Chains A and B, each alone.
Chain A
């Protein structure tokens, strides 16, 4: 009992101590700042437990389908009365707020038009949607409100928020009448050289289709702090303004790589196809260029021979190792090396090419590098790494040597200098 009294007293004291500074602070604030505050309106929030709305279980609540103009689809929605009273259900077709395209209410019918649902009774409603022939490609949304109950809000809203509602999304699409070949251009290029590429377009439709190809959109591919190897104006586009019905057209790209260009260029060629069935992404050709910069000066390595034993120099270039299952591009030029050698007396020694070797690593498939649907294929050889090896041998002499190695079309290389017996 005594303990309880002490505890109570302590609690009261703590509460008082907390209140005093707060009150003081309020007083100071009232004295130093006089700001006329508008009266805050009191919002009378309705207690949801007291809300009067029909409690219906709607299954499903949401559905999505893809349709072409002229096509239709049906969805069955089961409405169950979870209330303890009979509910009159009369489905109403309502446009979905913020939908990309306006769903015309005449495109949808709901049957039955009305139903009286006793408690725990259920009714299956069929929602029949037909997209007219002339509908635009895009995403359409519609709501089927089974009762007019709406969510109360303390402020006016542009759209009523129906409670007993089924949401239906329809993506209207059209097969493109323009066929594009290729969908991307990827190449390894060299600075101060010119390249030509072509994109073929085929119009399988019955009307001419306008095109207006432009370079752009590459910024999204570029990383911060990384400038493109060259600007968009290095690429010149030549194209007709239309692809005739049932005909073809060629879009030509001429790339003049500026001298000294280094790094990568990523961008898009927006074909500007005047066809609503093609969205922006589909009508763009991705461009990816890597400027291949070869050194012009040889890599120099000096070494000392302690004896007059023959000297063997082996240079190895590995190509393509981009990942666990990686391989390089098949279009890469074959590597080779210019090798120079200066002997101890300062004289140039011509190294004799004694061996050239090609090395490869081939996966037979069936490993983690094979898609499961290609396991049945035989002979799915995959060359994951290739190497090119040059071996030079010269008569040796004790002293200091200088080896120069200028690679061509090599991404990287290794060298081995052996003085004495090589294997």
Chain B
């Protein structure tokens, strides 16, 4: 009887431990990627990670594999530089945040984690824009392709994710709507 009681206690304890572990795991795994803190983790890093997961969103169809966060403390606030990478993309998404009073505010972004096929498609679409093809010289190099978030796109076209295809050598850029498969704006340095 004593053995049965002992076994029961062990079983219940094990179940509780496993259960607790699962609950903790569920809370932590709100995102599918690995978070790497470069340098010392802040005390409330878990809270920051949860908040980050709400604010860093990859390009449609892309899943981040790794998210590296580096922190600089300045003037009473934490400044986070976040690099999010995906094996499906050749370039990272970069985000800058300020964390103060438990509030994470995005201060900048540079989003180039875009699948290569989409990048090439965007370049091709941009080159259909009559002014783009005319503006590019024979020696035009490979353009950059950056994701433009809806709040920025709204100022130029519509509140939706767009891609910016830029030949900086040529001072030429096109804002591309991948849904409509067309360039909606062109910039030539003016």
Contacts and interface: CB of A to CB of B under 8 A. Distances in A.
Main secondary structure, interface of B, reads: mixed
A378 B94 contact: yes
Contacts of A382: 168
Contacts of B138: 221, 264, 266, 288
10 contacts: A180-B124, A282-B128, A323-B169, A323-B170, A369-B189, A373-B164, A374-B166, A376-B152, A377-B111, A378-B107
Interface stretch (B26-34, B64-72, B140-148): B140-148
Interface in A177-194: 179-183, 186
**Residue from the set A182, A290, A369, A377 with the largest chain B CB neighbour count within 10 Å:** A377
B168 A288 contact: no
Nearest to A379: B110
A154 interface: no
Nearest to A323: B169
Nearest to A374: B164
Interface in B84-112: 94, 96, 107-111
A368 interface: yes
Contacts of B111: 377
Contacts of B53: none
Interface residues on B, range: 35 or more
Given A377-B146, A379-B108, A371 B166 contact: yes
Given A266-B138, A378-B107, A380-B110, A373 B168 contact: no
A372 interface: yes
A180 B120 CA distance: 8
A379 B96 contact: yes
Secondary structure at the A interface, as helix, strand, loop or mixed, is: loop
Contacts of B166: 371, 374
Contacts of A156: none
Interface stretch (A85-93, A324-332, A334-342): A324-332
A223 to B, nearest CB: 10
A35 to B, nearest CB: 52
Contacts of B139: 288, 290, 322
A346 interface: no
Contacts, number: 95
Interface string B112-127: 0000110011011001
A322 B138 CA distance: 12
B181 interface: yes
A376 B116 CA distance: 23
B85 to A, nearest CB: 15
Contacts of A328: 141
B151 to A, nearest CB: 8
Interface of A: 175, 179-183, 186, 221, 264, 266, 282, 288, 290, 322-330, 368-369, 371-374, 376-380, 382
Contacts of A183: 120, 123-124, 127
Interface string B127-166: 1100000000011111000101101110110000010101
B173 A374 contact: yes
Interface of B: 94, 96, 107-111, 116-117, 120-121, 123-124, 127-128, 138-142, 146, 148-149, 151-153, 155-156, 162, 164, 166, 168-171, 173, 175, 181, 185, 187, 189
Most buried by B among A282, A323, A371, A374: A371
Shortest Cβ-Cβ A-B pairs, 10 listed: A378-B108, A371-B173, A183-B124, A371-B187, A181-B120, A326-B169, A377-B110, A376-B152, A378-B96, A379-B110
Contacts of A374: 146, 148, 164, 166, 173
A186 B143 CA distance: 12
A327 B107 contact: no
A373 B169 contact: no
A230 B128 CA distance: 28
B136 to A, nearest CB: 10
Contacts of A324: 171, 189
Contacts of B189: 324-325, 368-369
Contacts of B153: 373
Contact of B162 (A282, A372, A373): A373
Nearest to A327: B169
A322 B168 CA distance: 10
Contacts of A376: 108-109, 148-149, 151-152
Given A186-B140, A371-B187, 17 more contacts: A181-B116, A181-B117, A264-B138, A266-B138, A322-B169, A325-B171, A326-B168, A327-B141, A328-B141, A329-B142, A369-B168, A371-B173, A374-B146, A376-B108, A377-B111, A378-B107, A378-B109
B175 A373 contact: yes
Contacts of B94: 378-379
